[in-house]
Structure 1
Amino acid sequence: MSIAKTYTPADVEAKWYQRWQEQGFFKAKANPRKQPYSVVIPPPNVTGVLHMGHMLNNTIQDVLVRRARMQGFEACWVPGTDHASIATEAKVVSLLKEQGIEKKDLTREQFLDHAFAWKEKYGGIILEQLKQLGASCDWDRTRFTMEPKLTEAVLRVFVDLHQKGLIYRGVRMVNWDPLGQTAISDEEVIPKDVMAKMYYLKYEIVGAASYKPQAASQNESLSLEADSLQLIIATSRPETIMADVAVAVNPKDPRYQHLIGQRVRIPLLGRDIPVIGDEYVSIDFGTGALKVTPAHDLNDYELGVKHKLPVIDILNNDGTLNEQAKLYVGQDRFAARRNIVKDLEEAGHLVKVEEYASIVQTSERTKAVIEPKLSLQWFLKMEHLAKPALEVVENDTVQLHPAKFKNTYRVWMENVRDWCISRQLWWGQQIPAYYLPDGTYVVALTPDEALAQARTQPGNEALTLADLRQDEDVLDTWFSSWLWPISVFDGFEDPDNADVNYFYPTNDLVTGPDILFFWVARMIMAGLEFRKEVPFKNVYLTGIVRDAQGRKMSKQLGNSPDPLDLIAQFGADGVRTGMLFSAPAGNDLLYDEKLVEQGRNFSNKLWNAFRLIKGWEVDAELPFANDKAVEWFGARLQAAIAEVDEHFEKFRISDALMTVYKLVWDDYCSVYLEMIKPAYQAPIDPETLRHTSAYLETLLRLLHPFMPFITEEIWHELKARGPKEYVCVAAWPKPQPVAGAAALLARMAQALEIVGGVRTIRNQKGLGPNKPLTLAAKTTDAELQTLLTDYTGIIRKLAALTEVSVVEAAPAAAVGFVAGGAEFFVPLEGQIDLGAEKERLTKELDYAQGFRASVSKKLSNEKFVANAKPELVERERQKLTDAEAQIAALQQQLAGL
């Protein structure tokens, strides 16, 4: 059989993925004979394409699912996409503009036709890309958050929560996207570091002549001007002064106590507003006087509610100033800022301008600067839902991995706010609220149900469907995704169906900590509310993939490679392992292409080991010659299997991979195969080959969840397989006890330590790895002598020795080392220039002795010892100890020569 010299991922990956699908290995169904293991994919946006975060997240999910499948569970990984209201609508609007079509010229139905057509053409791209990564999803179960059944589930939940009094409609402060012209959720708001300007403005004190300011303070120039009795107020948004309704000061601030209850005049506008006292205002921040604009700042809004202040909203939905502003009407907010600053300066109201580092909140989708805005929206009361969802995490019914995120979760849940669930869009589930001619509304699943409900009210008996007007808004995308673990199994359509009863609750959720509250917590709330059961048992929180500078990878920064290019260059297995090499749960991954190179090199190492084994000829007449090596690796393998299982149990996926990696690269390839490898073109005995091939099969099973493609390729190349005999569905290895395992491992470790000592001498003396040497052990330890006898073949082979002997005295012209408490010597006469070696060692000894003298002198200085930090003194003492050990070793080597 001809085996390719090098492993080429592109030649095998598509082949094996197609065969796995043809065999139906990824399909799952309710099976009472098996335990279920289910995972739901965090649905990527239907607009999305694969990025590095997806690569990490979905690789971890696939590792967990493939292992569970091999363990004999009915493994079900449900894929799907999220309709992503804001992102998709923006995408469709942009494409329509390219065709000369404006959204405003379309009916809702016409726009949705265009949107669904776009979704059908482009919406599944990311799922196809996941297949290239090796994701073993049950593709027949692919769901979409806006498909009819899932849409009906969303509407049922809305109606149910409204009937329970948990959903209400009201005017509240929301995050407003002026470009998208919709409210957005907190998780769709992205903070951005900017250099901003702080403007210091004069507000005239009404009736100033009758007031006397308090004693001047050092901040007087920026607070209260004694000559003109004008209040100085600092603001970063001068265009909102037309919405000011008060100025707040701290009642304990001596500069302003006399002004509380008085009035000041807004510059340019000339409107008088009161000065109020509130301890919320920081005395030390800015000038200590705060303009209060309830319509355009959340904290100001709460101050306004507390002090019963009026609300003046000066912004239109598109970010332009409205009639309430009186000035700059129709101008964009930022144009109005430029103009008002100019006018304030000309009128003498601008004291100064300072630049400072600030953070602005921007829309994740449109990049527009967010406006805090009072808006009539639909809200969901969260307190009732949050309390039980906090309890199940606190008592570990749902376990977070790593557990450090429990604190973050607790803070969020204990400070939960009502959820704004409405969006001013067309793409999404339209809110099932129907307005009657008199302005009231009813909430119902369908228009017909709404009409029937409306007709029960006096005076509405003659209403028709034409008299009802459905709410224009759609529901927040998260209002569908919080139902995902239930809705993907049709748990709202039929709460008692076989799938939801079998696969719910799911086992593990893999996601990012940035949506721990916005998605994870809400899914827990939904599960407890609608199924009386948590939606999953474990939450594995991945880190964020960052570049070498610590920046989050993004297309905007241009610091993120294309995942598909990486797969093409390094193979899916190389990329998967490269991502996992340094991806401990909850900690960010600093991406370096060397990681995926290391993954590819690992694939090559495994392939070369397979080729080596397949290249050996077998001589059936040869006796079993490698019992010590075979016994040792058997014990090492079983210990590693137990270690891997423990890592998985604790969700240390990266550690599990590293355990297998070291087992394969270090123990199997670099040590075991070297132990048992026959001489060039010599045959191997059948028993050794049988064990060696069996070990490789076990290693392939351990590696398969991490590296599915190459393991399947080698699995089938190793020997003939039946039609269903794939490593994909082979049994996961279970640790088996090995009699005397600890002693086996300890004895081989000692033998390998001796080999390491010889190899170190070879490196130090510039002797080639195959230059024949001898080794002499000076010991009276019977156990060590037995070990040298039992393992002499292994030691001689790995250290390239012609002889291993036990001696009473050190041989002449030898270099020694200590291993296992015994002295070992490698005679070098005739191997190296002894004179040159003595000269080199003498120079090293002179330097070491000089270094010891300088350290001793420092330590003999009483002032240094008394005054230096204890850790510094201890460091010097350690230097002295190390120097004396080095001197002793060099003297011993010189004596040997």
Structure 2
Amino acid sequence: MATNQDSSSSGRDLYQPSKIEGKWYSIWESEGYFSPYWRRPERPLSSRPSEESWLGFSDSEKAPGTIDSRNPKVASSPGLRTLRPLIIPNTISGTTSWASWATSEASQPDERALDFSEISAIAFGDGSIQNRSDTNPSTSPSLNNAEGALKIPFLDDASRKSFTMFAPPPNLTGDLHCGHALAASIEDALARHHRMRGFKTLLLPGSDHAGLAVQCVVEKKLIREKGLNRHQVGRPRFTKYLNEWKDEYRGKISSSFRRLGASMDWTREAFTMDGPHREATAEAFVQLYEQGVIYRGSHIVNWSPILTTAISELEVDKLEINGPTNIKVPGYAQEVEFGVLYYYKYLIVKDDNTFIWIKMATTRPELLLADTGIVVHPEDKRYVHLIGMNARHPYSGRLLPIVGDFTVNPKFGTGARSVAPGHSEEDWQIGKRSNLQSVVVFREDGRVTEAGDLWKGQQRFELRQTIIENLEERDLLLRKEPCKETLLICSRSGDVVEPMLKSQWWVRMEDLAEEAAAAVRDGRIKIRPESMEREYLSSLEEPKDWCITRSLWWGQQIPAWFLSLKEEERNAIKPDDTNPKRWMVARSEEEARRHGKLASPDKPFRLTRDESVLDTWFSAAVWPLSTLGWPEGEDFREFYPTTMLDTGSDTLLSWVTRMVAVSLKLTGEAPFREVLFHPLVKGLEGRKMSKSIGNVIDPVDFIDGSTLEALNQKLLKGSLAPSSKELDGTKHFQATSFPDGIPECGADALRFALVNSTAESQSILVDVSDVVKCREFCDGMYETVHEALTVLPSDYKPTSSAYGQRIAQRVGDRYILHRLNTASREVEGAMKERRFWEATRGIKNLWCHIRTYLKYYQSCEGDDMDPGSLSAAEALYAVIDGALRMAHPFMPFITEELWQKLPKSPHDDTPSIMVAEFPRPSPEYEYPYAGEEFNLVMNCANGIQLLYQENGHPKVCTVYVKSTCFTPQRALERHMTELQELSGGINIEFLRLGDEVPQNGVLKPLSEDVSIYLSIGPQLDKREDLLELRLKLDTAQRTVLRQENKLRESALRDSMDEPDRKVEEARLEAYKSRVKNYETTITELSSRRA
């Protein structure tokens, strides 16, 4: 069979060198084709990786019984250096970004010489593509719009089914990390898979302004660089810094997604503070307010005095203290002591003007100024007679009612405690049940209000020491003792959270939660995995009202105006801001003024807009609506509700439940039909990757590679303070995880490794070795396709756009086509069930079978016009084409590159693998028994070659095959020609049942039914041959011992995953079989010599 040294569409040698400004490139690269590998033709063949290394075998430890694929009839490939990725520049929106492959051995290619083809950019998901139809005959103008931006295929086709997803918008707190890379890999794989199945597919990109998080990051940066906080620079200048940060990181995030190959529609890229999203969020607020879902009210919030804003429960960490502990609190020069229980007493005035003392205990003496009552357990016999009496406050002089409440723990302290409803959720609930007054003693910045009288203006923990000293002076402090205490810490600032009664905007969650739960129970929304469905429903069982007010400078201002009367201003009367009649909620100030005239038709008034902003999670809850132009947008009518959502399990309560609840309330429909919760990506210490913690890995560092020094330098440009514990911890994390840095691996390898690691787990650890293995797998794919192109007939053209139609003639052809069918079913089923690790495993297995088949193909070559050869070419093309299509959703770059090099049918005008049909099982490729017959033939050929090699390559020999069963013998006889070719042309004869085995030979059992016998005459009856066989036996026995020790040690350390263990166990069995074969041969020779 003639080889194909011309597999490129341009009709030139794949490896013909082309010199451009002193650099050597292949023809692919010099013409602007996207090539993921850098080629150096002058490098020796010895630098190539072994054929088995990409499948898990090292050069020194090949799989036993492997047929040599270097057929003398096939010309050797040109010398290749060890396959390394290639950097190719791409112009995106006027800035330079780089393709997913990089090399450390060459300078960056000249941008003018290496323009992108459209097809490459499609794999990139690039939104600004230069059309190079002059260099790429496959370029299709239909994939570009008038501005040159990528036009997502099928979106204008109303006859097609839709598949719509929006990518969870990353926070603008810094670069992407591997958690985002995992999400992008899954989402893009789903999008590409559905697009290849002909769906009208839309994957929407975007980013989140992340109000509090970004404000904290930018302020820390400002303090670090200029020594000024936001109050010192003022709101206008600080807002300017915020916008500069936003512009920088929006660009970086978009570039990173493109580097990962996410095929998003960048013409629809959204941002939570852009114009359309602002309008949709304001509309949602107004509608929910008009429906009574949003209201203004006073409740206890988690307040950060250092940030002067309420924070979410999700931004509060709990710190357990087991005794007296000094802690550094932001805003204080000295550390503050916690973990101490203070005992004190209040005076009770009885009706007969006599008095008694009641003893109490607290960990927060500073809140004594906020006490408005005393609570005991109603069944505590020590205090039951005191319920209904009053104690006298030692500072304000007000009477403190003594009440009973079953929530009191009688074993804590003395069993009695004072109640401060203005500074505790538990006390506030007790106060509501017992009608106690609420007093707030701290301002928003944590200093004492007018309620503190003499101590007005003191900081809260300074007040603590003042109160303790004053109680001692007045002989009211009894004692203090160590105790356990749980502190609430703001995760953004490290501040000790102050529970505080504040007037804020709230969302009533009870009815919304019930509707959101019903949508899952009745099947409108499917949640995967099932464990997350249970968690989803559990999180909605006892919903709390949601505070959506944030006192920040970065965010979307609340669309509400407060109405104050002119006469109140003249008389210095402060109106009640919790009165709903005073708030004008509107879409614009003009609409608010109309509402004001209706509320106060006769009295002059002033409208003042609420300076607070909405909680970031509120605008995120509207994301499914705002990204599609709700309420009137064409996209909303076309694509809502979306098909599914993929997100991390950590967003269930903060985002997913709220999206469902808000969307149901505003539209009557669930925002998506399915929710997939993928595992969380964690760092070495098992903590979720978080930019605020610092244990993140930028996916670009995996794509391009990075030294440990470069990783450390990147930290100094991030949001962590140079002297912070987080920075030191992150450096330790990097040194432990990447002592030698991160090797360049490319986007395809990273994507494949991340998705492959998601098997039935709620969290995964990023392991460099896993990504490197996937890079080697990509190298193996590249080698396999190149080798296939070189052995196909030089003028080969497939008979259809996808698969050949000729009936497979040979057992190997039937075997590989059947494996293609099997893999198609496995991968399609895994994609539908969202078991992506099963899809990647099926893809890897298929490529392993292709590698085996390719050796078979090369060993069974015939004349180009032979029907069997034509059938084999069709089979080889079909499986390569199908395997590339199958792998494309997970590895878009290398599959696009290789698929473009495959020969095309004259009737096939498919411009990109991105829109090629995803492989489907074909009835023509169903050969249920081909696998068994192929394995029988290959095992027999392997056995013959091994027996031939072990016995010194005799010049004259005959191999006899004997079977005790009729079926395998018929199968082997049927494929006699292939068996001889695979065995290297050795003379083979079949023995019938009852035939005698010839003398002077060596027996080798292949199975219970089949044995082979090498008839070699007297030429091996020499002492030297027997000695050589015994030396080989000794070597094989030592190999078995090493393999057994390797497996034993890995089991003790639990250092090998299950797939790798199975490979190693199979290798051990093969080595043991080799030992047995040597022993059998030596026994035969020894008995004959005797």
Report TM bin, short chain.
0.7 to 0.9
Q: Report the residue type matching 2:966 in the other structure.
A: A
Q: Report the residue type matching 1:676 in the other structure.
A: Y
Conserved? CA contact 1:83–1:428, under 8 Å = yes
- TM-superposed CA distance for 1:802, in Å, is 4.9
- 1:702 pairs with 886, 893, 913, which one? 886
1:135 partnered with 2:262: yes
Report matched runs for 1:654-803 at 5 Å: 654-664=837-847, 666-669=848-851, 671-678=852-859, 685-719=869-903, 725-738=911-924, 741-750=927-936, 779-790=963-974, 802=986
Partner of residue 201, structure 1: 342
Aligned mates of 1:147, 1:120 — CA distance in 2: 12
- 1:455 pairs with 593, 597, 603, which one? 597
Question: Would the alpha carbon gap of residues 533 and 19 (structure 1) be closer, same or farther in structure 2, given more than 3 Å must change?
Answer: closer
Aligned mates of 1:253, 1:771 — CA distance in 2: 104
1:362 partnered with 2:546: no
1:720-768, Cα deviation, whole Å (9 max, x unpaired):
7988621122111122124653222343355566678899999xx9999
1:29-52, Cα deviation, whole Å (9 max, x unpaired):
443132222111211123432111
Any idea what SS the aligned residue of 1:349 has?
Answer: strand
Aligned mates of 1:629, 1:606 — CA distance in 2: 20
Conserved? CA contact 1:702–1:732, under 8 Å = yes
Question: Would the alpha carbon gap of residues 381 and 838 (structure 1) be closer, same or farther in structure 2, given more than 3 Å must change?
Answer: closer
1:10 partnered with 2:87: yes
Report matched runs for 1:387-466 at 5 Å: 387-438=514-565, 439=575, 440-457=582-599, 459-460=601-602
Partner of residue 653, structure 1: 836
Q: Report the residue type matching 1:431 in the other structure.
A: I
- Which one has a larger percent helix, Structure 1 or Structure 2? 1
Question: Would the alpha carbon gap of residues 841 and 149 (structure 1) be closer, same or farther in structure 2, given more than 3 Å must change?
Answer: closer
- TM-superposed CA distance for 1:711, in Å, is 0.8
Partner of residue 291, structure 2: 164
Question: Would the alpha carbon gap of residues 285 and 273 (structure 1) be closer, same or farther in structure 2, given more than 3 Å must change?
Answer: same
Aligned mates of 1:316, 1:268 — CA distance in 2: 19
Aligned mates of 1:827, 1:483 — CA distance in 2: 80
- TM-superposed CA distance for 1:86, in Å, is 1.5
Any idea what SS the aligned residue of 1:373 has?
Answer: strand
1:531 partnered with 2:706: no
- TM-superposed CA distance for 1:57, in Å, is 0.7
Any idea what SS the aligned residue of 2:672 has?
Answer: coil
Conserved? CA contact 1:541–1:586, under 8 Å = no
Question: Would the alpha carbon gap of residues 647 and 194 (structure 1) be closer, same or farther in structure 2, given more than 3 Å must change?
Answer: farther
1:444-487, Cα deviation, whole Å (9 max, x unpaired):
21111121222234544765xxx221122121122222111221
Aligned mates of 1:767, 1:177 — CA distance in 2: 82
Question: Would the alpha carbon gap of residues 77 and 410 (structure 1) be closer, same or farther in structure 2, given more than 3 Å must change?
Answer: same
Q: Report the residue type matching 2:790 in the other structure.
A: G
Any idea what SS the aligned residue of 2:675 has?
Answer: strand
Aligned mates of 2:120, 2:1078 — CA distance in 1: 63
Partner of residue 187, structure 2: 61
Stretch moving more, 474-483 or 593-602: 474-483
Stretch moving more, 358-367 or 581-590: 358-367
Question: Would the alpha carbon gap of residues 353 and 532 (structure 1) be closer, same or farther in structure 2, given more than 3 Å must change?
Answer: same
1:552-580, Cα deviation, whole Å (9 max, x unpaired):
23456554333211111110101111111
Question: Would the alpha carbon gap of residues 19 and 325 (structure 1) be closer, same or farther in structure 2, given more than 3 Å must change?
Answer: same
Conserved? CA contact 2:681–2:763, under 8 Å = yes
- TM-superposed CA distance for 1:795, in Å, is 6.5
1:818-862, Cα deviation, whole Å (9 max, x unpaired):
74666678999847667789999999xxxxxxxxxxxxxxxxxxx
Q: Report the residue type matching 1:477 in the other structure.
A: T
1:633 partnered with 2:774: no
Aligned mates of 1:296, 1:650 — CA distance in 2: 49
Cα RMSD after superposing both structures:
4.6
Aligned mates of 1:135, 1:63 — CA distance in 2: 9
Conserved? CA contact 2:964–2:1009, under 8 Å = no
Aligned mates of 2:195, 2:464 — CA distance in 1: 61
Conserved? CA contact 1:83–1:477, under 8 Å = yes
Question: Would the alpha carbon gap of residues 720 and 454 (structure 1) be closer, same or farther in structure 2, given more than 3 Å must change?
Answer: same
Aligned mates of 2:952, 2:684 — CA distance in 1: 38
Q: Report the residue type matching 1:745 in the other structure.
A: G
1:43 partnered with 2:169: yes
Conserved? CA contact 2:349–2:391, under 8 Å = no
Aligned mates of 2:903, 2:980 — CA distance in 1: 33
Report matched runs for 1:98-247 at 5 Å: 103-104=230-231, 112=239, 115-191=242-318, 197=324, 198-204=339-345, 206=347, 231=359, 233=361, 235=363, 237-247=364-374
- 2:756 pairs with 569, 581, 591, which one? 581
Report matched runs for 1:23-34 at 5 Å: 23-24=143-144, 25=150, 27=152, 29-34=155-160
Conserved? CA contact 1:61–1:510, under 8 Å = yes
Q: Report the residue type matching 1:649 in the other structure.
A: K
Stretch moving more, 400-409 or 630-639: 400-409
Aligned mates of 2:508, 2:593 — CA distance in 1: 27
Any idea what SS the aligned residue of 1:124 has?
Answer: helix
Aligned mates of 2:958, 2:427 — CA distance in 1: 85
Conserved? CA contact 1:204–1:266, under 8 Å = no
Aligned mates of 2:433, 2:179 — CA distance in 1: 44
Any idea what SS the aligned residue of 1:365 has?
Answer: coil
Conserved? CA contact 1:387–1:413, under 8 Å = yes
Aligned mates of 1:817, 1:337 — CA distance in 2: 88
Conserved? CA contact 1:206–1:262, under 8 Å = no
Gaps of 5+ in 2: 1-12, 16-38, 40-79, 90-98, 101-115, 130-142, 145-149, 325-338, 566-574, 576-581, 705-743, 797-805, 1039-1071
Report matched runs for 1:237-276 at 5 Å: 237-252=364-379, 273=400, 276=403
- TM-superposed CA distance for 1:330, in Å, is 3.9
Stretch moving more, 700-709 or 827-836: 827-836
Conserved? CA contact 2:649–2:678, under 8 Å = yes
- 2:689 pairs with 547, 553, 560, which one? 553
- TM-superposed CA distance for 1:530, in Å, is 2.3
Aligned mates of 1:194, 1:661 — CA distance in 2: 51
Partner of residue 859, structure 1: none
Gaps of 5+ in 1: 211-227, 844-884
Report matched runs for 1:846-885 at 5 Å: none
Any idea what SS the aligned residue of 2:696 has?
Answer: coil
Conserved? CA contact 2:562–2:584, under 8 Å = yes
Q: Report the residue type matching 1:482 in the other structure.
A: A
Question: Would the alpha carbon gap of residues 521 and 234 (structure 1) be closer, same or farther in structure 2, given more than 3 Å must change?
Answer: same
Aligned mates of 1:269, 1:92 — CA distance in 2: 43
State how many pairs are aligned.
826
Any idea what SS the aligned residue of 1:183 has?
Answer: strand
- TM-superposed CA distance for 1:27, in Å, is 2.8
- 2:202 pairs with 66, 76, 79, which one? 76
Q: Report the residue type matching 2:589 in the other structure.
A: P
1:254-276, Cα deviation, whole Å (9 max, x unpaired):
66656655677889999885554
Question: Would the alpha carbon gap of residues 682 and 10 (structure 1) be closer, same or farther in structure 2, given more than 3 Å must change?
Answer: farther
Aligned mates of 2:299, 2:1037 — CA distance in 1: 84
Aligned mates of 2:956, 2:443 — CA distance in 1: 88
